Amino acid sequence: MIGGGRGAFIGAVHRIAAAMDGEIDLVCGAFSSDSERSRLSGQDLYLPPERVYGSFEEMILQEKALPEDTRMDFVAIVTPNHVHFPPAKLALENGFHVVCDKPLAFNLEEAKALAKLVEETGLLFALTHNYTGYPMVKEAREMVRNGAIGKIRKVVVEYPQGWLSTLLEASGQKQAAWRTDPKRSGAAGAMGDIGTHAENLAEYITGLKITELCADLSAMVEGRLLDDDGNILLRFDNGAKGILFASQIANGEENDLNIRIYGETGGLQWHQMEPNTLVHKTNEGTRLLRTGVGEQSEAAKAHIRIPAGHPEGYLEAFANIYRNFARAVRARLEGKEPGPFDMDFPTVHDGVRGMAFIDAVVASSKSDQKWWPVD
């Protein structure tokens, strides 16, 4: 692991998700750019001192020098956005597979460079758009693929949060400080942080690509340097139209990522805060699909761990990304083909699309041009 030391939020989430199915062990780490903090973080995690490193460069190069049956098999990068590219690049150049938190990189140029490197090396690269890991998201995707709602006409995806309704970053709160800092977060704030999740979820379920958009970004909180609210009109490659709304100043909202998809013969609706339910609507009535109940696709069933009625949530969805990736890596190590669902995780190419989306949103919001291409 690179990053995720003492005081970090997402590092602990990655460690729980990776450990959940017993297929992955944390064997080493460079947990902070501060070598002492990294050492103490490794101590907290009961790692042997010789496998706790003061920098990601030291870790990657020293691990490479270890015997093949001892050294790490892949790297998990859980740093702020501006520290995604350097360790990912070095890991790939030295033969290590990579799991990286989203967004993929600090800018589109870095993202494209990583995609090129993945293609050249043939290594595996997963991006943790973890909301794609939910069983009912996978069921929705299969229903769309199988024509259950006909040709898609409209997509509405929303991601409201309220935690940045005040100038929280001025208080020294760590998460708020780096996520609202252009030098560490990149060109976008809320849209880069949670808007990319909404974009990825819409493309994952529908199988469509956003081709053009018209965006309006705002920094509603006085003194904030990056957007905390955004509204976007979307055009998809099959002619469908859409709306994407992402906000971190929606006071009172927790983490209400939700999506509605309307086709010629029906519609689907899913809420992240009620993840075990998928709503299927037609003009004849409404049907509720529940995780693990009744006939469901093999894709959904492959990502359910426990009997129906036992809620599976954020951590389990996150773990599905890691489990699939682990099985794909294991297949590579054993010279076998991955199983039918082992490659079902967001890739470096999804990351490039996310960075192109951010660029287009920021450019559109600054421009008088109505529609902006997602290039």
Per-residue confidence (pLDDT) for residue 337, from 0 to 100: 93
Structure tokens at 305: 């761990």
CA distance 197 to 203: 10
Q: State which of 64, 99, 123 marks the end of a domain.
A: 123
Q: Is residue 325 part of a domain?
A: no
Q: Tell me: the pLDDT tens digits for 167-176?
A: 999 999 999 9
Q: Tell me: the pLDDT tens digits for 129-180?
A: 999 999 999 999 999 999 999 999 999 999 999 999 999 999 999 999 999 9
Q: Tell me: the pLDDT tens digits for 268-279?
A: 999 999 999 999
pLDDT band at 253 (very low <50, low <70, confident <90, very high): very high
Same domain, 109 and 152: no
Same domain, 230 and 278: yes
Same domain, 97 and 156: no
Asked if residues 150 and 240 have their Cβ atoms less than 8 Å apart, the reply is no
Query: Which CATH number do you get for residue 247?
Result: 3.30.360.10
Helix (H) or strand (E) holding 182: helix 182-185
Same domain, 144 and 210: yes
Structural domain of 44:
10-123
Query: Which CATH number do you get for residue 104?
Result: 3.40.50.720
Q: What is the pTM of this model?
A: 0.95
Q: Tell me: the pLDDT tens digits for 80-99?
A: 999 999 999 999 999 999 99
Q: Is the pLDDT of residue 303 over 90?
A: yes
Asked if residues 42 and 2 have their Cβ atoms less than 8 Å apart, the reply is no
Q: Tell me: the pLDDT tens digits for 23-80?
A: 999 999 999 999 999 999 999 999 999 999 999 999 999 999 999 999 999 999 999 9
Q: Is residue 43 part of a domain?
A: yes
Q: Is residue 70 part of a domain?
A: yes
CA distance 242 to 202: 9
Per-residue confidence (pLDDT) for residue 103, from 0 to 100: 94
Q: Is residue 1 part of a domain?
A: no
Q: State which of 75, 98, 123 marks the end of a domain.
A: 123
Q: State which of 123, 150, 169 marks the end of a domain.
A: 123
Q: Is the pLDDT of residue 375 over 90?
A: no
pLDDT band at 256 (very low <50, low <70, confident <90, very high): very high
Q: Is residue 341 part of a domain?
A: no
CA distance 237 to 14: 34
Q: For the sheet containing 267-271, what is the strand order?
A: 285-290, 277-282, 267-271, 258-263, 152-160, 241-247, 229-236, 210-218, 372-373
Asked if residues 123 and 241 have their Cβ atoms less than 8 Å apart, the reply is no
Q: Residues 190-212: what's their mean pLDDT?
A: 97
Q: Is the pLDDT of residue 7 over 90?
A: no
- Look over the chain and give the mean of its residue pLDDT values, rounded to a whole number: 97
Same domain, 101 and 143: no
Q: Tell me: the pLDDT tens digits for 227-250?
A: 999 999 999 999 999 999 999 999
